[in-house]
Chains A and B, each alone.
Chain A
């Protein structure tokens, strides 16, 4: 009996702590978003038609984390269609952001604007940063 209570307690706290850390990461991520991403991708993540792509429900945002980490680190000028649309602007490399800020902002993006996807961790960002191109 005692054991079960302990296990239940342990599980709930882990879940709660995880939720808590997701929330603090999201809060920090929102600040980064408003400072560096909002001017192009807009407050609602809707982007600008034909200029800056939306961040809501795109295959990039919901897909492979390392791809979007790479985009924030190195910018994007590919002009490959994003959900069948081309966007005529250059996204700059955000070399001024540290690993924590990139993890936070992408966690925020992946769980906002109607998106639901796993958090991006500092370890994820480190892995992409150190990986050879």
Chain B
């Protein structure tokens, strides 16, 4: 710990606190840091203006590790302490000279990712990193084509680590995001991206060949969590964009703003969520064949009869000839495309998932799922939406009610058209040792702590 670069300073809010006793702290508590919360909950902004906070891990001691997608004083991982327990960060130390998203604590190690690699750092008994400059590189060579490039991580209880590799495309078209460009069949991206890969948590220098493609057909997952009740991996997929832009005769701008759903899946080895062939329509409640693959916005994947010649890409073997011939929509090669566990409104961009196992919050929250939505951009020209933390109650490992908004107004409260107007965008979630919920923001690097006070 001693060779950490040590930065001790009053942060934005604590600056006020430093200057005027506890007033700054009190004010932050009084207005819940600008958030709208259910009755009985309070929020405090622990820190701000330090990098772009992505995912977050909180230690048993209540100290905070944040992975930043922008270097802060040259460092990409920030270790923060609230020394006096007033909810405000007092010290920030940085290490790791790389930017990224993923961070997690498991069995005495801190895991952190860049957009291509995953590292781990041994922790001491106080959960502090022992050698911040000498991490072990456990995974390397993950694909990064600067679209959906962040790598998130989750760990199970059997020594495995799960890493998301997002697809470097919107819908696997011949030409990405281009008007009327057809889907590639089969989609070659799925070999090395568009899924979740499983690796060993303790083996060095693993590459694709050492891991397994655990689940496929996932366009881009940023939020994922291991559910200890079901002993399975749950993920949140970012649904596809630009249905209107690329297929204006099938979808108007209003439909495009509401389609497709953002989806939660429970995954097992071999799971397939269907991207790019299929998207989930939250209004028709079904898996729809993507327009790039002959869909018309109505045809459900389960309605199509399987025709062998069609499955393989058409009678002449030319995969493109059949596309857009709505009468012979091609059934995707993959079978057993699964339904989502929960469907959320379109384009809200789920960036974190956390199953709540704490005791602080009321009973209804126990084992339920919190989801940090980063907020939309692809609803334009409709107003933007979804800069919030949502909650889904779970019983016996299954959703037991509708999703609801848990924490709102991160963006600032008023309706707005342009995402650059958002003051904060939720990105990461963690549970503290006392059962508080921590939320990060990647606009200003804020860390919020949300607590329940009976």
**Chain A residues within 8 Å of B, Cβ to Cβ:** 34, 36, 38-40, 42-44, 46-52, 54, 75, 77, 79, 86, 88-94, 96
- Inter-chain contact A38/B377, CB cutoff 8 Å: no
- Inter-chain contact A43/B380, CB cutoff 8 Å: yes
Q: Name A51's contact: one of B69, B245, B377, B381 (CB within 8 Å).
A: B377
Q: Name A42's contact: one of B242, B245, B419 (CB within 8 Å).
A: B419
CB contacts (< 8 Å) of B242 on chain A: these are 39
Q: Please give the distance in Å from A51's CB to the nearest CB on chain B.
A: 6
* B232 at interface by CB-CB < 8 Å: no
Q: Which of B115-156 contact A (CB under 8 A)?
A: 146-149
CB contacts (< 8 Å) of B244 on chain A: these are 39
- Inter-chain contact A39/B245, CB cutoff 8 Å: yes
Q: Which of B193-219 contact A (CB under 8 A)?
A: none
- Inter-chain contact B420/A49, CB cutoff 8 Å: yes
Q: Provide the bound-state CA to CA distance between A44 and B175, in Å.
A: 27
Q: Please give the distance in Å from A10's CB to the nearest CB on chain B.
A: 43
* B106 at interface by CB-CB < 8 Å: no
Q: Provide the bound-state CA to CA distance between A64 and B344, in Å.
A: 44
Query: By the criterion of a CB under 8 Å from any partner CB, how many residues of chain B are at the interface?
Result: 26
Q: Which of B392-443 contact A (CB under 8 A)?
A: 417-421, 443
Q: Provide the bound-state CA to CA distance between A108 and B443, in Å.
A: 29
CB contacts (< 8 Å) of B366 on chain A: these are none
CB contacts (< 8 Å) of B307 on chain A: these are none
Q: Which of B146-175 contact A (CB under 8 A)?
A: 146-149, 169-170, 175
**A-contacting 9-mer, from B3-11, B32-40, B176-184, B322-330:** B176-184
Write 11 A-B pairs (CB below 8 A) sorted by A numbering.
A34-B381, A43-B418, A49-B419, A52-B377, A54-B420, A77-B176, A79-B146, A88-B146, A89-B177, A90-B170, A92-B177
- Inter-chain contact B179/A96, CB cutoff 8 Å: yes
* B378 at interface by CB-CB < 8 Å: yes
**Chain B residues within 8 Å of A, Cβ to Cβ:** 69, 146-149, 169-170, 175-179, 181, 242, 244-245, 377-378, 380-381, 417-421, 443
- Inter-chain contact A93/B419, CB cutoff 8 Å: no
CB contacts (< 8 Å) of B177 on chain A: these are 89-92
Q: Provide the bound-state CA to CA distance between A34 and B377, in Å.
A: 15
* Minimum CB distance partner of B150 in chain A: A88
- Inter-chain contact B420/A90, CB cutoff 8 Å: no
Q: Provide the bound-state CA to CA distance between A38 and B244, in Å.
A: 12
Q: Provide the bound-state CA to CA distance between A49 and B427, in Å.
A: 14
- With A92-B177, A92-B179 already in contact, the answer to whether A42 and B380 are too (CB < 8 A) is yes
- Inter-chain contact B417/A36, CB cutoff 8 Å: no
Q: Please give the distance in Å from B288's CB to the nearest CB on chain A.
A: 20
- With A46-B420, A90-B147 already in contact, the answer to whether A38 and B380 are too (CB < 8 A) is yes
Q: Provide the bound-state CA to CA distance between A84 and B325, in Å.
A: 45
Q: Provide the bound-state CA to CA distance between A48 and B175, in Å.
A: 22
Q: Name A93's contact: one of B148, B178, B245, B418 (CB within 8 Å).
A: B178
- Inter-chain contact B418/A44, CB cutoff 8 Å: yes
* Minimum CB distance partner of B420 in chain A: A46
- With A38-B381, A93-B175 already in contact, the answer to whether A48 and B419 are too (CB < 8 A) is yes
Q: Please give the distance in Å from A48's CB to the nearest CB on chain B.
A: 4
Q: Provide the bound-state CA to CA distance between A66 and B368, in Å.
A: 54
* Minimum CB distance partner of B170 in chain A: A90
- Inter-chain contact B147/A89, CB cutoff 8 Å: yes
CB contacts (< 8 Å) of A94 on chain B: these are 179
Q: Please give the distance in Å from B173's CB to the nearest CB on chain A.
A: 9
- Inter-chain contact A39/B378, CB cutoff 8 Å: yes
CB contacts (< 8 Å) of A52 on chain B: these are 377
* Minimum CB distance partner of B443 in chain A: A49
Q: Name A92's contact: one of B178, B417, B421 (CB within 8 Å).
A: B178
Q: Provide the bound-state CA to CA distance between A47 and B244, in Å.
A: 18
CB contacts (< 8 Å) of B419 on chain A: these are 42, 46, 48-49
CB contacts (< 8 Å) of B418 on chain A: these are 42-44, 46
Q: Provide the bound-state CA to CA distance between A38 and B245, in Å.
A: 10
- Inter-chain contact B147/A48, CB cutoff 8 Å: no
CB contacts (< 8 Å) of A86 on chain B: these are 146
Q: Provide the bound-state CA to CA distance between A84 and B146, in Å.
A: 16
- Inter-chain contact A36/B420, CB cutoff 8 Å: no
CB contacts (< 8 Å) of A91 on chain B: these are 177
Q: Provide the bound-state CA to CA distance between A34 and B417, in Å.
A: 13
CB contacts (< 8 Å) of B181 on chain A: these are 92
CB contacts (< 8 Å) of A49 on chain B: these are 419-420, 443
Q: Please give the distance in Å from A104's CB to the nearest CB on chain B.
A: 18
CB contacts (< 8 Å) of B245 on chain A: these are 36, 39
Q: Provide the bound-state CA to CA distance between A115 and B164, in Å.
A: 40
Q: Provide the bound-state CA to CA distance between A46 and B380, in Å.
A: 12
- 8 tightest CB-CB pairs across the interface, nearest first? A92-B178, A46-B420, A42-B418, A48-B377, A92-B177, A90-B176, A46-B418, A48-B419
* Minimum CB distance partner of B253 in chain A: A39
* Minimum CB distance partner of A79 in chain B: B146
CB contacts (< 8 Å) of B169 on chain A: these are 90
CB contacts (< 8 Å) of B421 on chain A: these are 46
* Minimum CB distance partner of B245 in chain A: A39
* Minimum CB distance partner of A87 in chain B: B146
Q: Please give the distance in Å from A21's CB to the nearest CB on chain B.
A: 28
